[in-house]
Amino acid sequence: MKMNIAILPGDGIGPEIVSQALQVTEAVCKKFGHDLTYKHALVGACAIEQTGNPYPDETHELCMQSDAVLFGAIGDPKYDNNPSAKVRPEQGLLGMRKKLGLYANIRPVTTFETLIHKSPLRTDIVTGTDLMCIRELTGGIYFGRPQGRSEDNNVAFDSCVYSREEIKRIVELAYKYARQRKKKVTIVDKANVLCTSRLWREVAQEIEKQNPDITTEYMFVDNAAMQLIQWPNRFDVIVTENMFGDILTDEASVITGSLGMLPSASIGLHTSVFEPIHGSYPQAAGKDIANPIATILSAALMFEYAFGLMDEGRVIRTAVDESIKAGVVTEDIASGDKSYKTSEVGKWIKEYILNK
């Protein structure tokens, strides 16, 4: 198959982890005989520094022409500590999501048996967790207008906005995936307080009626945050709005032992983007210590979701499992003193794929 992808490493550890995922992608293409072409482009703080724009037009053009985008991370403490900065790296990510129409962010959460002891939760709670969080990505409070300050600068406001259409397409997607999984959908909202959440529930109830083979439950987000760590394996597909999904998936990621393990797929109207759910981890940038697994598993999702190549995805996942079993892991998930560098983990996984 011809595969044309855009590589957007971004900031911090982004370049290091993306280059590992790219090598793994190349290895898989070589093994299965796919014709891979790719180009790099700027996004985030590095794009601001070089062009003044966190998501330059050139980068957008490249993404639009690509079958898929492999993305690292964006963000720089320089901007975090300066709330009055007019241009911010995060605007690059949000602009990209909006312009590419990436309305669904899929974040699968599964445990690795060999890492269960790393979880802050008890083994009996965590064992068997296999859930998928579907986060709405182009609406809600992240994008709602009006947003800003009062004239006297003493009041700030954001708006949470959702249309029926935006809710419908994402809730329908949740049912589609639940049907291929354990046939349960949990709709997370705050319908006891928020008007947008009441619209979510109204629309979801209509879709629920059309899907009688799927079990539906409605849960307030505060309760969901609690149940997620008390009883994570009660969930199958969770679907929720943008900000609730942002928060719940960071929480869900620690269930598995490390934030460095969780991949994501953002799908939508024009192309799809694959990225780890963790951030740019600036303290580790350039040190070759960051965990590349979330990005490598994002490449696995790319084969599956963007190209429908299920065996290729499976091969990557198996190689990652084997690297963990062999103890070839970065310091965040290592047991004992021995840990490996980012590049050593990537190389091990790549070679496992090529030699198997």
Q: Which are the catalytic amino acids?
A: 142, 190, 222, 246, 250
Residue number, 137 or 309, with CB nearest to ligand IPM:
137
Largest Cα span, the chain: 66
Considering the rule CB under 6 A, would residue 251 count as an interface residue with ligand IPM?
no
DSSP symbols for 214-257 = SEEEEEEHHHHHHHHHH-GGG-SEEEE-HHHHHHHHHHHHHHTT
# binding residues, Mn ion (CB under 5 A):
1
Q: In whole angstroms, give the CA distance from residue 237 to residue 276.
A: 19
Residue number, 36 or 254, with CB nearest to ligand IPM:
254
Q: Is 107 annotated as a binding residue?
A: yes
User: CB of 93: closest distance to ligand IPM in angstroms?
Assistant: 5
How deeply is 95 buried, as exposed, middle or buried, from its count of CB atoms within 10 A (0-12, 13-18, 19+)? middle
Q: What are the CA-CA distances from residue 317 to residues 12, 108, 130, 293, 311 (Å)?
A: 25, 13, 15, 10, 10
Considering the rule CB under 5 A, would residue 246 count as an interface residue with Mn ion?
yes
β-strand pairing of 272-276 with 104-110: unpaired
Considering the rule CB under 6 A, would residue 90 count as an interface residue with ligand IPM?
yes
Q: In whole angstroms, give the CA distance from residue 20 to residue 40.
A: 14
Q: Is 250 annotated as a binding residue?
A: yes
Considering the rule CB under 6 A, would residue 93 count as an interface residue with ligand IPM?
yes
Considering the rule CB under 6 A, would residue 246 count as an interface residue with ligand IPM?
yes
| Residue 90 partner contact from ligand IPM, Mn ion, none using kind-dependent CB cut-offs of 5 to 8 Å | ligand IPM
| Residue 93 partner contact from Mn ion, ligand IPM, none using kind-dependent CB cut-offs of 5 to 8 Å | ligand IPM
Positions at the binding site: 97, 107, 135, 222, 246, 250
* Residues engaged in binding Mn ion (CB under 5 A): 246
Positions at the binding site for substrate: 97, 107, 135, 222
